[in-house]
Amino acid sequence: MRLHVIGCSGSFAGPESAASSYLLEHVDENGRTWRVLIDLGSGAFGALQRVIDPIDIDAVVISHLHPDHFLDLTGLEVFRAYHERTDLPILPIHAPADLPDRLCAVMNRRSTVPDGVTDSPFSYQSITDGASWSIGPLRFEARTVLHPVEAYAFRITDGDRTLVYSGDSDACPQLDELASGADLYLCEAGYIEGRDDRFTGVHLTGKRAGESARAAAVQRLLLTHVPAWTDPQIPLREARSVYDGPIELAAAGAHYDI
Ligand SMILES: [Zn+2]
Ligand SMILES: [Zn+2]
């Protein structure tokens, strides 16, 4: 599997990166490349087009309905609904159940069908705690994690290697369980110790991400969701103080082979 970081800026788009979005690619045994987009936050639809043509996405998976994780679906909807090619398949979107209503609210309309076309370009599949599903050769498993809204982390495997994405979460046992033994643990570190102690149940710090990586005995930790106002070396140092394995900071435009 190859993970492209489309955007990794925490909570809002920053000067160096869009908000959260990741593209997972995997070539199956027949040589077909599967492309799954995981989150599409503020500003990410533009950056996505530097990496692929959005025609080529097979499915979308959304961790939760905060704007920095789903808002640019508005752009993807316009792209798929009004594209000159009228034979594009309906795109499956796995997301919390409220997503269609939330998109309608943003677009100020009652229907999931965009104005002037006959069908929604998206088909919506609701995620629930413990749910699992397949997208081509990729198997997804979701667990509810600790965040102020319904939010999921994902364990994704091609049958050989495993990627775990925390979504947005504070420390919780279900996240550590889900991440157990992952080859790559893409884990948020939105907060830093001390500065953000007055908020609980929202985000991990670098230290708490490192503790989760240690508890789950993952092979490799990739820190993400660091906001533009945070020096990323701080969460990196925090994680290094508690986790001995390899750690990197996610960077927009970079890719990681799993
Ligand atoms: Zn977020
Ligand atoms: Zn969030």
| pLDDT single digits (tens) 184-231 | 999 999 999 999 999 999 999 999 999 999 999 999 999 999 999 999
Nearest ligand by distance to the CA of 148: 2
Strand order in the sheet with 122-126: 122-126, 91-95, 59-61, 33-40, 21-27, 2-7, 255-257
Ligand 1 centroid – CA 151 distance (Å) = 10
Tens digit of pLDDT for each residue in 148-188? 999 999 999 999 999 999 999 999 999 999 999 999 999 99
The residue to which tokens 């435009």 are assigned: 253
- Enter the tokens of residue 249: 């900071």
Q: CA torsion sign, 90 to 95 to 100 to 105?
A: negative
For residue 151, list its beta bridge partners: 64
- Enter the tokens of residue 236: 């990196």
Task: For residues 120-135, give the mean pLDDT.
Answer: 98
Ligand 1 centroid – CA 66 distance (Å) = 6
Phi and psi, residue 159, nearest 5°:
95, -15
Ligand 1 centroid – CA 85 distance (Å) = 33
Ligand 2 centroid – CA 147 distance (Å) = 7
At 80, the pLDDT band (50, 70, 90 cuts) reads very high
- What's 225's DSSP letter? -
Please provide the average confidence, as pLDDT, over all residues in the chain: 98
pLDDT more than 70, % of the chain? 100
Ligand 2 centroid – CA 170 distance (Å) = 10
pLDDT at site 113: 96
- Enter the tokens of residue 33: 């490349």
- What's 151's DSSP letter? B
Reported pTM:
0.98
At 82, the pLDDT band (50, 70, 90 cuts) reads very high
Nearest ligand by distance to the CA of 190: 1
The residue to which tokens 């043509």 are assigned: 53
Ligand 2 centroid – CA 64 distance (Å) = 7
Which protein residues have their CB within 5 A of the ion that is ligand 2? 66, 168
